A and B are shown apart, each in its own frame.
Chain A
């Protein structure tokens, strides 16, 4: 138990530290912009299509919020205080909605889309990779080049291809939005059906892209484990091959959890862009809208939220990994 405690302690320490660093970066980067950030933010906005009154109102609001005339550390404290209260200010482009309100309505869609898609892609990819390593021969020869090719299709590319084939030509699934555009979100059978049918294309495009990479990784991990000494030893003790294959795949799969933890940031980046293609009402589309409309507060808050989401997922995966793989615990005790 001592090993676990030390392990958790270390992980929590890193989690907090990274969180602080993420907040600091979020604070500093816009302030590195040349000249007065408030002026350049609202300056960009002036070229947009918001009405003049809103611009003036926002300018005052942000001068207040950023406190550009205050010393740096006070600005930072103000920023932290606002962030803790979930106050990310007002949106430029969707004035007078608050940023936290916009993010609040988008975050659920993103989590509901990406979490299951990444998990399903991870599972399918691992199963295929393991099969390829075990069966070899024809299956492997076909599956591996296909997986390698698939893993190199960018997420947005897969999204467009699926959209065109299934949405535009075959017309089996809707191509845009999270639900039919003439509906108002409410709990009814029709609405749920609409959500599910809109879910298909974005979901499968993320799944397909993640399958490839996972399969390739799992295959080489499994081949490595199949050649391990314990396989030969277990065979010579008369243990059935099927049981030994079980050992091998468990051992090969566990490091894949770390692989997932390390790549989740990249995967979410790709998946966010896939959301844009489908105009899915999640954080990716929110960010796109924010960038197009030069809505700085919304961009800043969206990136912070995504960072925090990735942090939490990585942290959870690390913890799970520590529990299921005794090799990690042993390494921590040493």
Chain B
């Protein structure tokens, strides 16, 4: 036993999978300690806020300011507010003025602005340009000048007589320390369509999905193991009958059964545990098959016959003379069941047949929400890509562990 374990932990594949899975599990337990609270709480009013750190604007204006004269500040400000559209328009203007811009890089804000300074002349109307376009360039030039000169912003409050009273001036050189701002919120993965913190939701959903996988895997393994043991050990009519059922459920796609059953249950009754049980109930067939064939090869071994002759009960023979020999197969089958259970939940949820949406998030539900609100077509990658990545990583790590185990227990596959 100890030797087997050592062999298992010497398999690079198993260790690789184990490390990934462990990292996911640890994140699941540790992250909520730093960021407690209900993962389904809607913190944002809008949808799909981008990942990043959000600073309360109100608090920032109240915070104590320091003055910094940073040389690149104006340039950064310009670069941030100069849209791609503006840049293209400037290039268009240069072309219309027949200026040589072969060395100009559109993304180089400095060079672009310098060129503009040198060449923009409001008094000249380039050939073939409409009046509206000329006015557009005038406006563009004005806003550029504004940004450059750095107007002072004035914060005003309503005075006692209803007049606006200046309370604070903010110049371009004023800075506040983020630590001095009362409210700063970092959202590493932004918010989703309901304005919920995606990372917090993801961690919670990963936990739920793994639980669903574990429960589904347990149900499937218990059913598959019992059927396989009975069919393989007893043989005869019991074997025929169990294999009859197994064959039928092998050919009818489990996914179809899942859809029918889930739909029949109705959404109000579908908690995460119910969904997991249903997944387990439809996925046991190949565990039963492989356990059965293992048991058949075992049932006429000497130690089993000896037990039979000694008059041991069926239960005892199965528990002490058969189970220990197939334990490695059962573990491997269980691991695969867990990973396919997680996938099945995701697919069901995408169809709109997942667990009810009010209690806990699952990976499938998150995916479903992201798709319903077109996160994939409006560029909100943070709402769906981490979900896909987590599903893939869980399944990848479990399969990697399984391959490692397989190589330890079936030496012919070793290289």
Q: Do any CB atoms of chain A lie under 8 A from CB atoms of chain B in the complex?
A: yes
Chain B, range 185-222, C-beta contacts under 8 Å to A: none
* Chain A residues in 8 Å Cβ range of B159: none
Chain B, range 252-311, C-beta contacts under 8 Å to A: 252-257, 259-261, 263-264, 266, 286
Q: How far is the CB of A259 from chain B (nearest CB, A)?
A: 12
Determine whether A173 belongs to the interface, using a CB cutoff of 8 Å to chain B.
no
- Residue-wise, chain A 151-167 has the 8 Å CB interface mask toward B (1 for contact) of 11110110011011000
Determine whether A215 belongs to the interface, using a CB cutoff of 8 Å to chain B.
no
The secondary-structure label for the interface of chain B is: helix
* Chain A residues in 8 Å Cβ range of B352: 288, 291-292
How many residues of chain A are within 8 Å of chain B by beta carbon? 57
Q: Are B400 and A163 in contact (CB under 8 A)?
A: no
- Residue-wise, chain B 364-381 has the 8 Å CB interface mask toward A (1 for contact) of 000100010000110101
Q: Are A306 and B253 in contact (CB under 8 A)?
A: yes
Q: Are A291 and B253 in contact (CB under 8 A)?
A: no
B-binding segment of A62-70, A266-274, A322-330: A266-274
Q: How far is the CB of A61 from chain B (nearest CB, A)?
A: 20
Q: Are A273 and B248 in contact (CB under 8 A)?
A: no
* Chain B residues in 8 Å Cβ range of A3: none
Given contacts A160-B376, A269-B347, contact A310 B252 (CB under 8 A): yes
Complex: chain B residue closest to A265, CB-CB: B253
The secondary-structure label for the interface of chain A is: helix
Question: How far, in angstroms, from A201 to B346 measured CA to CA in the complex?
Answer: 21
B-binding segment of A22-30, A87-95, A245-253: A22-30
- Residue-wise, chain A 210-232 has the 8 Å CB interface mask toward B (1 for contact) of 00000010001001100100000
Question: How far, in angstroms, from A164 to B376 measured CA to CA in the complex?
Answer: 6
Closest 5 CB pairs of A and B: A269-B255, A265-B253, A157-B388, A152-B395, A152-B396
- If A154-B391, A266-B255, A269-B255 are given as contacts, then 17 extra A-B residue pairs at C-beta distance below 8 Å, sorted by A number, are A18-B252, A21-B248, A21-B252, A22-B252, A25-B252, A25-B260, A29-B261, A136-B415, A152-B396, A154-B392, A224-B412, A265-B256, A266-B340, A273-B351, A287-B259, A299-B260, A299-B263
A-B contact pairs, 26 of them (CB 8 A): A26-B260, A29-B261, A29-B264, A148-B396, A149-B396, A152-B392, A153-B392, A154-B347, A157-B388, A161-B385, A164-B381, A216-B403, A224-B413, A265-B256, A266-B255, A268-B255, A269-B253, A273-B347, A291-B351, A291-B353, A299-B259, A299-B260, A303-B256, A303-B260, A307-B256, A310-B253
Q: Which residue numbers of A lie inside 8 Å of B, CB to CB?
A: 14, 17-18, 21-22, 25-26, 29-30, 32-34, 40, 44, 136, 148-149, 151-154, 156-157, 160-161, 163-164, 168, 175, 216, 220, 223-224, 227, 262, 265-266, 268-270, 272-273, 276-277, 287-288, 291-292, 296, 299-300, 303, 306-307, 310-311, 314
